[in-house]
Amino acid sequence: MLFVIATGFLMTCVAQAAVETYKFDPSHSSISFSVRHFFSPVPGNFSDFTGTIKYDPESPANNSVEAVINVGSVDTNNAKRDKHLQSGDFFNSESHPTMTFKSTSWESAGENKFKVTGDLTILETTRSVVLDVELLGSGEVGSGERKKYISGWTATTDLKRTDFGIDYGLLSVIGEDVSIAITVEAIRQ
């Protein structure tokens, strides 16, 4: 706390770190998943998404993250499967073109590590999920007009697709558990 005396009045100034706002850089970020098919995990990803991180280096309680994912951008390296994933059996992208995540709390889980709880909405169902998040680093990069301040993040979680009403092929072919892995490079605004 800094005390300043000015013209007979005692003024109190508290130095506080400002909350920093970062936008996802999709060209240097990824949202991927893995689901078991019979006995083997099959990977996939979403290539079209946006997101914003608000980060307070002094207080995780002030942090937040929001993301919107275009489900039509799903890519499992198989066009026929990708088309099926957009059908009513899975994401129903015609009626529900996006899925969203909005954090509700951040808790410290070690140095630069956080437990981030938030609301994930897929189709018309919203469920609370917990992400294991790590801040990999931040700093100024580039020079001249290309100079910018960036941060790097990873996040992982596991969820059950049936919690969101997606149960196609559950008993015969496709696993219930979905592993999510997210990497984000974000640019300070």
Q: What's the pLDDT tens digit per position in 59-109?
A: 999 999 999 999 999 999 999 999 999 999 999 999 999 999 999 999 999
47 CA to centre of own chain: 13
CA angle, 153 as apex, 147 and 156 as ends, to 5°?
160
Please tell us whether the domain made up of 17-188 is placed in CATH 3.40.50.720: no
Q: Tell me: the pLDDT tens digits for 25-65?
A: 999 999 999 999 999 999 999 999 999 999 999 999 999 99
Asked if the model's pLDDT at residue 4 lies above 50, the reply is no
What pLDDT score was predicted for residue 12? 40
Please tell me the distance from the alpha carbon of residue 69 to that of residue 92, in angstroms, as a whole number.
14
DSSP symbols for 90-106: TT-TTT--EEEEEEEEE
Please tell me the distance from the alpha carbon of residue 138 to that of residue 149, in angstroms, as a whole number.
7
What pLDDT score was predicted for residue 18? 86
Q: Tell me: the pLDDT tens digits for 152-186?
A: 999 999 999 999 999 999 977 999 999 999 999 99
Asked if the model's pLDDT at residue 7 lies above 80, the reply is no
The candidate with the shortest Cα–Cα distance to 114, out of 128, 98, 97, 133, is 133
DSSP symbols for 117-161: EEEEEETTEEEEEEEEEEEEEEEEES-GGG-EEEEEEEEEEEEEG
Asked if the model's pLDDT at residue 15 lies above 70, the reply is no
Task: Give, as one character, the DSSP assignment of residue 87.
Answer: S
Q: pLDDT band at 2, cuts 50/70/90? A: very low
